[in-house]
């Protein structure tokens, strides 16, 4: 090998690490700027993909999280859609994997807990109807399968518990009215708020929704248990069977 060839080969080896260093520097600079913006203005003004980037920073210190965040939004439609997506589907997105998918599900659980904790504990729940609807929307609107939830209240309409009673498929959840009432008696609840989601996004109640609600009312009423409402949640909003005068 000539001295010139050796020199060119050495120059090529020197250039490769330099490019990698520049890419790392650019990435660190981007992350630093994003964090500074978050410190200055908070996350509400951030596009969905940038807020996801901030989350992914915590579990992926070196690779490009911007492209991963955008791929997640493309796959699941929104920030909320990403958090609600099943772990196995999240992990299939390039750049996510099992650790990041686990981290995203923890964030989802924290968001649901935060919404639940906004429900009043020492005041009648019916006095904070917007908090009830917000909690149910956060908890269920983006779920890919139907869930049937119950808020159990005491005689002063204070919250005793909020529980998932049943999980179903994309368009059906089996609900057993006697089991609903049995659980209410176990908790000494005297009133209920029923809720479930429509993964289609449309919260319009079906005939089956109305009939199931009336069956629960018929069994609960003789036992002194009042059903305040049945709220159906979808991405497009919510529907109240009481508000629609269907019960």
Establish whether domains 3-113 and 120-240 are of one fold: no
Of the candidates 234, 205, 69, 227, the residue with the CA atom closest to the CA atom of residue 139: 234
Closest CA to 162 of 174, 178, 151: 151
Q: pTM for the whole thing?
A: 0.76
pLDDT beneath 70: ranges in the chain: 1-28, 62
Query: 36: left (phi > 0), else alpha (psi -120 to 50), else beta?
Result: alpha
Q: What is the pLDDT of residues 73-120, one digit of tens each?
A: 999 999 999 999 999 999 999 989 899 999 999 999 999 999 989 888
* Domains of the chain by residue range: 3-113, 120-240
Burial 183-217 (b: 16+ CB within 10 A, else e): bbeeeebbbbbbbbbbbeeebebeeebeebbbebb
Just give the CATH number of 120-240.
3.40.140.10
Q: Are 90 and 52 in contact (CB under 8 A)?
A: no
DSSP state of 156: T
CATH among 3.30.70, 2.115.10, 1.10.150, 1.10.3470 for 3-113: 1.10.150
Give the C-alpha distances (Å, rounded to integers) separating 81 from 121, 151, 172, 234. 29, 24, 20, 12
Do 195 and 136 touch, CB atoms closer than 8 A? yes
Per-residue pLDDT at 6: 47
Name the DSSP class of 223: G
Distance CA 247, CA 240 (A): 10
């Amino acid at each position: 090998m000539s001295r010139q060839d050796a020199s060119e080969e050495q120059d090529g080896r020197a250039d490769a690490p330099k490019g990698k260093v520049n890419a790392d520097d650019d990435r660190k600079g981007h992350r630093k700027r994003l964090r500074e913006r978050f410190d200055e203005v908070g996350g509400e003004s951030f596009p969905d993909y940038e807020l996801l980037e901030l989350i992914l920073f915590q579990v992926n210190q070196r690779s490009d999280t911007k492209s991963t965040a955008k791929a997640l939004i493309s796959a699941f439609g929104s920030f909320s859609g990403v958090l609600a997506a099943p772990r196995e589907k999240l992990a299939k997105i390039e750049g996510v994997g099992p650790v990041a998918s686990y981290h995203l599900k923890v964030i989802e659980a924290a968001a649901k807990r935060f919404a639940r904790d906004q429900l009043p504990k020492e005041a009648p729940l019916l006095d904070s109807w917007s908090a009830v609807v917000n909690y149910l929307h956060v908890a269920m609107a983006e779920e890919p399968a139907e869930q049937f939830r119950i808020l159990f209240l005491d005689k002063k309409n204070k919250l005793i518990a909020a529980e998932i009673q049943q999980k179903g498929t994309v368009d059906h959840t089996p609900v057993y009215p006697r089991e609903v009432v049995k659980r209410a008696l176990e908790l000494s609840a005297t009133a209920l708020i029923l809720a479930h989601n429509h993964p289609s996004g449309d919260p319009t109640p079906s005939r089956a929704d109305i009939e199931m609600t009336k069956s629960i009312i018929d069994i609960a009423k003789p036992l002194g248990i009042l059903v305040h409402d049945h709220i159906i949640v979808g991405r497009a909003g919510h529907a109240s069977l009481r508000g629609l005068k269907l019960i």
